[in-house]
Amino acid sequence: MSQMMREIFEQPEALERTLKAERDHACKFRELAQKRRFRLALLIARGTSDNAALFGRYLLELTAGIPVSLCAPSIHTIYNARLDLRDTLAVGISQSGEGTDINRVLASARRQGAYTVGITNEAGSGVTKIVHEVFLARAGKQRSVAATKTYTTQLMLLYLLASALGSQVTLDAISKISGYVRAALRLTDEIRELVERYRYMRHCVVVARGLNYANAFELALKLMETCYVVAERFSSADFLHGPIAMIERDFPVIVLMPPGKTFRELCGLVERLRGLTAETLAISSAGARLPATTRAIRMVGSIPEIYTPIPYIVPGQIFTALLAEVKGLNADKPRSLQIVTRTI
């Protein structure tokens, strides 16, 4: 078993540790947020953590009712722009806590009036010395270059942040997420049988919308870095505005489509893809009435849409790790990559 697969299976415990350790912190942060009355949230990240930030944008705007911006680090690190960040919550997300540009942006944001928070898996890392306070993931040491458990624990901390900034996300509901992940892990044998079909896949598209949009980016990233598949990722709305033109017979399209507000639109997209004779792989619920897809991975049980992003990335992680295996690739050591990447 690859180290990547081992870390995928460590996720339920990592999520539970993170929640247990940080839930009281989230309650205290609620008191601070009520006093500060943040008018804007700025999320700062790179790589997999940037996909977590994209999820955070949807989650916080939906539940906290404040605008959320994804930071362009070069505005701070290359152009040295001065921004008015008073009444802003600046959240840096970094697995290692040592991303040079992330830490420089956080230091700049703090000087310009923002209240700064770090989300990291490494206590004592550089980011912890820069920010006002830290939400610490308890994922354990990441050994595989491809991040899995650090991504989902970052999402868990963003749920805790959302619970502090609004009322729609509750600690009781968050506590059920690890159980959903355990159920998703039980799909491994089914996915192992499925993945052989995609042994020779060299390109694909991953599509989602809304709260799972970030997972389209994350799944595509994992396919690119561990399986060397050219994987484009789109919102279903953007996909229809042009990229659908590249779809031809047997072109692989992976669609993340949990039941919820985006489901009907995604069903319409799958119907259209069927008309184009594409190869469609849907990740959805066992109870969902899906249009005809080439293949489907069905999640067991009923999960409220707002809590689907963590469990719904898990089948994608498993698919990626097993696809690398059948392709004869080492998912733990992708070529040209290392765990910590420093950029300016």
How do residues 165-198 score in pLDDT, each as one tens digit? 999 999 999 999 999 999 999 999 999 999 999 9
How do residues 103-132 score in pLDDT, each as one tens digit? 999 999 999 999 999 999 999 999 999 999
Q: How confident is the model at residue 341 (pLDDT cuts 50, 70, 90)?
A: low
Q: Which two tokens stand for residue 166?
A: 């609004």
Of all residues in the chain, the percent with pLDDT exceeding 90 is: 88
Answer whether 258's CB lies under 8 Å from 305's CB: yes
**pLDDT at residue number 331:** 86
Across 295-300, average pLDDT: 96
DSSP string of 273-286? HHHTT-EEEEEEET
Answer whether 41's CB lies under 8 Å from 89's CB: yes
Domain limits, the chain: 3-175, 179-326
Name the least confident of 80-84, 159-163, 325-329. Answer: 80-84
**pLDDT at residue number 332:** 87
The yes-or-no verdict on residue 336 having pLDDT over 80 is no
- The reply to whether domains 3-175 and 179-326 share a CATH topology is yes
Answer whether 77's CB lies under 8 Å from 101's CB: yes
Report the b/e string of 182-214 with b at 16+ CB within 10 A.
bbbbebbeebeebbeebeebeebbbbbbbbbbb
Question: What CA–CA distance (Å, rounded) separates 320 from 343?
Answer: 26
Across 24-46, average pLDDT: 97
**pLDDT at residue number 334:** 79
Across 198-213, average pLDDT: 97
How do residues 53-79 score in pLDDT, each as one tens digit? 999 999 999 999 999 999 988 888 889
Q: Which fold has domain 179-326?
A: Rossmann fold (3.40.50)
Q: Which fold has domain 3-175?
A: Rossmann fold (3.40.50)
Rounded to the nearest 10 degrees, how much is the dihedral formed by the CA atoms of 62, 315, 226, 120? 40
DSSP string of 177-191? HHHHHHHHHTTHHHH
Task: Calculate Rg over the CA atoms of the chain.
Answer: 19
pTM value is 0.95
**pLDDT at residue number 338:** 53
Average pLDDT score, the chain: 95
